[in-house]
């Protein structure tokens, strides 16, 4: 590459449900990443569970300023990714009407049933191809319509989280295709908002912004932002605005017989395909068709994931026991195998609270033995997740007709060697774990594609494979694992 290309740098804003980061990325013969700013990003209780967007945006601006100061070349662009489904309402003055709600807020309780009174469940799936979860944007909007119609009436735009950050950076309201697909409001066969869903549920489609493709340059930092950050004009790119879309983009994969697992608060397991699979089988098994970068489809299943362990750790902290994730994993490694199993997607596990008590209650209800051994509980979570992965992998192969050879695990959970090995054991396939920073890497890749520095996603994945170490896991004790099962 030319010397000029070596000096081009990109800023990735990666927002997670627990923390946010601002990363500075450089692409030369490899992709280099430097974390320049990290901040806590938990929900706040304010007439419901919400996101403190003003605080979050302040931290983001501070991070961008640090990144610009640390850059040793031209900062070409900024891209933002976040979790899906949540949104902010913009009023006549161009500002937020209120703090955005958190997807775990209880206002969506019972909303799925209300929606099915207006539109048949199978018909909603036929139109959207999205797995039913009460946190989906469709049910958040319906809750607004039914319970707070005065607030909804004030809204000129409903902008999803990552794109909301971009809106306040560049002034353009839009919805990036990947992030928009998580809403259950899009027709995933055609890649546009679903007229049928909005009409049948009496929701205002006019507040939904224009849809744009991943890798689109949507604008530049506003004059006000440039003045505040003491910088010149910088492009803002709509990367795969959904964090999982970025993570999958960065899977160091080749060929077609691979699946991915984006492992973190949620576990998202699936395959990358060209067209949505919307069938009786995908409906029965609750599979989802989310948008991927370069107009692909991520055919996947949402699984509760490491949220279960995160909530256990928070409860143990409240009880005065401080343990790192590394310590917990080591305790789990020493615990007794197959002492009990849980359905990771059991409804009571969705909400914040005393997760160890919830898990013990579940164990008692299902004929298992409760435990106060923290390592044992962690091991139960890991083993139950691995068996869940096995079940969903079989369904993926059955519905798609593909025989999967390799599972690529990306994201923060790819650090967990014990869970990765359990996954390989349970599914009976090779696991390749890494990169850990898949989301930020995918964010940077899409910016580089927008800039023309990288020609394609294939080239980008090859670059990822050359830039980061990965760990490989071969299946062990497969017969023993095959004997373990759980109803789910």
Query: Which positions are annotated as active-site residues?
Result: 243
Largest Cα–Cα separation, the chain? 65
Q: How many CB atoms lie within 10 A of CB 321?
A: 10
Angle at alpha carbon of residue 18, lines to 436 and 228, rounded to 5°? 95
d(CA 202, CA 197): 8
**Token pair for residue 418?**
């014990």
Tokens of 86: 């949540």
How many helices, marked H, and strands, marked E, lie in the chain? 20, 21
DSSP letter at 108?
G
Give the integer Cα–Cα distance in Å for 22 and 212. 23
Give the separation between CA 108 and CA 106, rounded to whole angstroms: 5
CB 81 within 8 A of CB 12: yes
CA 234 to chain centre: 26
Match 């997607």 to its residue by tokens: 345
- Please check whether residue 215 is in contact with residue 293, taking contact to mean a CB–CB distance below 8 angstroms: yes
């Amino acid at each position: 590459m030319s010397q000029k290309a070596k000096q081009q740098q990109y800023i990735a804003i990666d927002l997670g449900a627990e923390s946010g980061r601002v990363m500075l990325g450089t692409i030369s013969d490899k992709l280099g990443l430097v974390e320049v700013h990290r901040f806590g990003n938990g929900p706040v209780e304010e007439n419901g569970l919400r996101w403190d967007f003003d605080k979050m945006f302040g931290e983001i601006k501070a991070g961008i300023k640090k990144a610009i100061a640390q850059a040793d070349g031209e900062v070409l662009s900024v891209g933002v990714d976040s979790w899906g489904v949540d949104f902010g309402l913009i009023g006549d003055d161009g500002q937020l009407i209120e703090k955005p709600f958190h997807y775990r807020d209880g206002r969506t309780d019972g909303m799925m049933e209300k929606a099915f009174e207006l539109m048949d469940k199978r018909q909603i799936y036929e139109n959207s191809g999205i797995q039913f979860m009460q946190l989906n944007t469709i049910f958040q909007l319906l809750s607004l319509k039914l319970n707070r119609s005065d607030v909804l009436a004030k809204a000129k735009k409903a902008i999803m989280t990552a794109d909301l950050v971009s809106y306040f950076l560049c002034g353009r309201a839009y919805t990036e295709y990947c992030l928009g697909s998580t809403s259950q409001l899009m027709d995933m066969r055609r890649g546009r908002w679903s007229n049928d869903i909005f009409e049948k549920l009496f929701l205002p489609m006019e507040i939904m912004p224009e849809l744009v493709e991943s890798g689109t340059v949507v604008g530049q930092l506003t004059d006000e932002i440039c003045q505040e950050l003491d910088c010149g004009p910088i492009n803002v790119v709509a990367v795969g605005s959904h964090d999982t879309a970025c993570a999958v983009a960065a899977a160091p994969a080749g060929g077609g017989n691979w699946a991915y697992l984006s492992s973190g608060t949620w576990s998202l397991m699936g395959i990358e395909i060209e067209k949505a699979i919307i069938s009786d089988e995908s409906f029965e098994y609750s599979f989802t068709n989310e948008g991927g970068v370069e107009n692909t489809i991520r055919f996947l299943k949402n699984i509760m994931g490491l949220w279960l362990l995160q909530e256990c750790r928070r409860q143990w902290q409240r009880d005065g026991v401080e343990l790192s994730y590394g310590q917990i994993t080591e305790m789990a490694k020493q615990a007794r195998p197959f002492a009990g199993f849980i359905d990771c997607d059991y409804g009571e596990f969705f909400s914040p609270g005393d997760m160890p008590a919830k898990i013990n209650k579940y164990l008692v209800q299902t004929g298992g033995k409760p435990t106060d051994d923290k390592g044992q509980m962690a091991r139960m979570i890991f083993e139950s997740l691995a068996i869940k992965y096995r079940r969903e992998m079989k369904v993926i192969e059955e519905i798609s007709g593909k025989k999967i050879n390799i599972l690529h695990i990306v994201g923060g959970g790819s650090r967990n060697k014990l869970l990765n090995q359990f996954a390989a054991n349970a599914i009976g396939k090779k696991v390749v774990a890494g990169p850990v920073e898949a989301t930020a890497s995918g964010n940077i890749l899409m910016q580089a594609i927008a800039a023309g520095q990288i020609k394609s996603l294939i080239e980008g994945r090859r670059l990822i494979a050359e830039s980061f170490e990965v760990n490989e896991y071969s299946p062990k004790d497969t017969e023993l694992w095959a004997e373990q099962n759980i109803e789910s």
